[in-house]
Structure 1
Amino acid sequence: MQKLIAAVAAGFAIAATCGTAQAQISDNVVKLGVLTDMSSLYADATGKGSLAAVEMAVADYGGKVAGVPIQIVSADHQNKPDVGVNIARNWYDNEKVDAVLDVPTSSVALPISALTREKNKININSGGGSSDITGIACSPNTVHWTYDTYALSNVAGKAMVKRGEDTWFFVTADYAFGMALQRDAANVVKESGGKVLGEVRHPLNSSDFSSFLLQAQASKAKVVALANAGGDTTNALKQAAEFGLVQGGQKMIALLQEITDTHSLGIKATQGLIVTDAFYWDMNDETRAFSKRFNEKVGHMPTMIQAGLYSATMHYLKAIEAIKTDEAPKVMEQMRNTPVNDFFAKNGKIRIDGRMVHDMYLFEVKKPEESKGEWDLYKLIATVPGDEAFRPLDKGGCPLVKSN
């Protein structure tokens, strides 16, 4: 009888322990929301490919974490801040989403980061670019994973001015991302000894760049810098070719150009273009293996945003597994305390301001005769260590740095 009582008591103890462990995962599920651009100018660089990258990570992880299932929901924010915030608010309040991922378009990304802090959830941004996300608008609940306007500008700007391309004219998307990209690039140009001769701003998702490019051409600047992205970049580059800017002796630089943009334009039209990127599919065996799987699933090689999302999702899930809870502050602390080592980043680190610091790369688009295949588009010019590529921790104005 004593043995029976002891056995029953042990059973209750085990059940209680399991119940306690299980209760650490809210609602007995880890739910991820992929908030992205499914239908507009960033759809190729993010969109369905971003969702696919998260799905691949969850599948590779086994579909469960800390003993509970992982679920994914997704939505198109249409590049509208109000739409994005309403979706995220509903996810947090009613659908019990634990983390929102991707969020391209900085005018959407910034309020989503603020909302996530209010709701004490987690935001892992891969698609948004503004360096303000880890600067004046930093949050203890947001990680900025893949790139930002400072790194894009810093890597490309220094290299171009060093080569003698020291007068610049900016063609800039007129919203948070474009203005941050121009600001950061202009600062780098000036600090490196160059000059900014002028700027012009265009509406988001423009189809006609003729008046903007004519102003850039008339400036006689050595470099015409496109501080935009996605469809805006491809449209501007196509029309720049029609106006003969490069033939006239000016250099074109796309401060944010995804591999899908280069592929869409074609190597003949983009040869010699300088591109800053956080990822390229053909770097090593690891990048090639992931990219081959992604290509088979999606139909194109992954952009840095999409590759970054796979990496970020895995890091998030590993953090939950390690501490057996999805409580946001604890998961964020675990993520910051754990180096990122995968095909996307080696010895990556998440700083207190939310910036994930990793190497960045400067590429030049190959000439047609140099390319050996459809996606063989880039040749590596330089690898820039993360601590050199990204803004110094004490220079961004993040309040968390002062209080840390």
Structure 2
Amino acid sequence: MTLKTTRRTVLRTGAAGLALGLAAPAYLRAQGAPLKIGHLTPTTGFLGPLGEYAQMGIKLAVEHINANGGAGGRQVELIMEDSVNPQTASTKAERMFERDQVDFIIGEISSASCLTISQVAARYGKCFVNTGGNSDSLRGADCNRYMFHVETQNSMYVNAEGEYFDAQGMVDGKNWYTLSADYAFGHDLLNAAKAFLDANGGVLVGDDLVPTDATDFSSYLLKIRQAEPDVVALNLAGTQITNFFKQYGEFGLDFTLGGFGFDTVSAWAAGAQNFRGTWPNVWNHLVQNDASQAFVQAFTTAYGKPPENQAWGDYNAGLIMAQAVTAAGEAGGDALVAYLESPEAQFDLMKSRKGYFRPSDHQLIQEIYAITALPAGEAQNEWDIFTTSDPVPAANEPLERLATSVTGGTCSF
């Protein structure tokens, strides 16, 4: 699907103002050729609900970029596809670069698909901005000079959530039971969780891999009931988490529940009566600052509901790359890499502090949050069913603190 936006909807505060307010040289403003952005993300399968928010986020970003004069004076043309699975993602990425002549690709949620897209992008010397793949290995042994990561990596989520549980006395000497999605994301997240528990005295008493197409969790819930752990931690994704929430309540289990990766769409789909526990979150619609709330208002006006964290990721990736094209003066892969690695490349992410890409592995270093389910009776509506923490790390702590203990090997560009 191809979308060329012309509607003059303008987000004039916060992140959009930073990314789009850069003055473009006259020769760039005069260029007539559009900037072509390819967008790949799964819109079917267990990650489909996240992909829908991703598409809404990037479409709104392109609309705002074009309404503010384009990227480096060039209007943006958006070419969107459903990536479905890693093989399809690779094929469609190659077609976007070869047939559609896109300047770079944004998107994805599956870590396995991120890897295949990044390999195609590298062959063409073009950038790929990952907005949903969490695997540490993508920032480690499988890193790529042309791949950048707006989404945080698994170890950052584990370290943040682990700190919360540790502060509650739920790690040292406590029994943990984990369920992990049986693909690259879940395997990688499980490795990070095991590393954290080993380092902090936690005991792993149960560990099950769950097929991505699983919808019935009764056999796992029976094993959890028998194990009687102190904490049940989920390393699941997409509709897996929603189904687990619903069945966990039906089984009447009340063990402390949490996890090391989470998307708010899973909470909304489960509903206030089923959602419980504390979870790490890259961003949520309750973050209180002007830029964040301006984005929430613009998104809600456009789509009739608040943005999910996946929408935040794809929206901000669009703004980041518009800023990069403007600053670099072109959209070539090498020029964009040089800018995104530079000290000048800092980005307003609708948070307390600006973020930046770490040159050593291209991870966007940024604050994250913890969200905690409200009792069902305290939920005001179908969206506001949790509370959000202050940013993590705290204002007086180094921004890279959560990203210092990682798994997945060492990056070598």
1:183 to 191, 209, 213: 191
User: Out of 225, 234, 245, which is 2:242 matched to?
Assistant: 234
Worse overlay, 231-240 or 159-168: 159-168
What TM-score does the superposition give when structure 2 sets the normalisation length?
0.85
Residue number in structure 1 paired with 2:403: 390
Partner residue of 1:321?
A: 326
Count matched residues: 374
SS at match of 2:380: coil
Q: CA deviation at 1:265?
A: 1.1
Conserved in 2, the CA contact under 8 Å of 1:341 and 1:347? Answer: yes
Between the aligned partners of 1:383 and 1:340, the Cα distance in structure 2 is 16
Q: Is residue 357–residue 387 contact of structure 1 (8 Å, CA) maintained in 2?
A: yes
Which TM-score applies when normalising by structure 1? 0.86
Using a 3 Å threshold, how does the CA distance of structure 1 residues 181 and 393 change in structure 2: closer, same or farther?
closer
Among 73, 92, 99, the alignment partner of 1:67 is: 73
Q: Look up the equivalent residue of 1:219 and give its one-letter code.
A: A
Does the 8 A contact of 2:141 with 2:408 survive in 1?
Answer: no
Please tell me whether residue 377 in structure 1 is matched to residue 385 in structure 2. yes
Q: Report which stretch shifted further, 252-261 or 137-146.
A: 252-261
Matched to 1:350, the amino acid is F
2:83 alignment partner, one of 77, 87, 95? 77
Matched, 1:295 2:300: yes
Q: Is the 8 A contact 1:34 1:75 kept in 2?
A: yes
Structure 1: gaps spanning 5 or more residues: 1-19
d(CA) in 2 for partners of 1:71, 1:226? 38
Taking a change above 3 Å as real, the CA distance of residues 393 and 167 of structure 1, as seen in their structure-2 partners, is closer
Q: Give the SS at the match of 2:148.
A: strand
Q: Please report how far the alpha carbon of residue 197 of structure 1 lies from its aligned counterpart in structure 2 after TM superposition.
A: 1.2
Following superposition, the deviation at residue 373 of structure 1 comes to 3.3
The structure number with the bigger radius of gyration is 1
Shift of 1:398: 0.8
CA deviations on 1:319-351 (whole Å, 9 max, x unpaired) are 111221111111122123211124157220101
Does the 8 Å contact 1:171/1:216 carry over to 2? no
Give the whole-Å Cα distance in 2 for the aligned partners of 1:189 and 1:159.
13
Percent identity between matched residues is: 23
Checking the alignment, whether the CA contact within 8 Å between 1:360 and 1:389 is kept in structure 2 is: no
CA drift of 1:68 comes to 2.8
Residue 369 of structure 2 corresponds to 361
Partner of 1:245: 253
Q: Distance in 1 between matches of 2:378 and 2:153?
A: 30
* Counterpart Cα distance in 2 of 1:236 and 1:112: 30
Cα distance in 1 for partners of 2:109, 2:232 equals 24
Paired AA for residue 155 in structure 1: A
- 1:53 and 1:363 map into 2 onto residues whose CA distance is 21
User: Amino acid of the residue matched to residue 411 of structure 2?
Assistant: C
Q: Report if aligned partners of 1:167, 1:195 keep a CA contact under 8 Å in 2.
A: yes
Alpha-carbon RMSD across the aligned residues, in angstroms, is 2.3
Task: Quote the offset at 1:122 in angstroms.
Answer: 0.7
After superposition, give the CA deviation of every residue in 1:139-172 in whole Å (9 maximum; x if it has no partner).
1111110222112211112321332223211111
2:157 aligned partner: 152
Partner of 1:399: 412
Confirm or deny: 8 A CA contact 2:139 2:362 kept in the other structure: yes
Match of 1:54 in 2: 58
Matched, 1:341 2:345: no
State the distance in 1 between where 2:353 and 2:51 align: 23
